A = this chain, B = another copy of it.
């Protein structure tokens, strides 16, 4: 992904959810079933000199939506986040990055399940890493793939 494509994807994300623009969340890589995002340390700190928990949660949650957009037929499905479990491992004192992937087989399987039942649940686990590669937090979220019109 070249710099121009990165900037375009980042701008689209900020336009979609302004909350993400205000924290300066950046798209580093975005491809079918793969994304890398980065949250800048500057402007997301807390009063202890670490990145604030809400910024870390957000960085960990957004890949679910990004993977959905690049992996599923968005004309047919939309995603809901049902819940998340986050564990903070160490203070985050640099820019923080998250990378997430989804298997092609799982996309096929979940799409078929949603076609049959109107919905399909799946978990996504991600690690947040600092610029030394150390894991500062890990999170598992449960998403639900829904067919349009399946929510009353």
Per the bound structure, the CA–CA distance linking A58 and B55 in Å amounts to 8
* Complex: A52 Cα to B148 Cα, angstroms: 19
A85 and B72 alpha carbons, distance in the complex (Å):
27
Interface hits, A1-33 → B, CB 8 Å:
16-20, 22-23
Whole-angstrom CA separation of A84 from B83 in the bound complex:
10
Whole-angstrom distance between the alpha carbons of A20 and B87 in the complex?
21
Total number of A residues with any Cβ neighbor in B under 8 Å: 31
Whether A87 contacts B78 by the Cβ 8 Å rule is no
Could you give 14 example pairs across A and B, Cβ below 8 Å? A17-B45, A17-B47, A19-B23, A19-B46, A19-B52, A19-B54, A54-B54, A54-B58, A54-B61, A57-B58, A57-B61, A82-B88, A84-B85, A85-B86
Interface residues of A, Cβ cutoff 8 Å to B: 16-20, 22-23, 43-48, 52-55, 57-58, 61-62, 78, 80-88
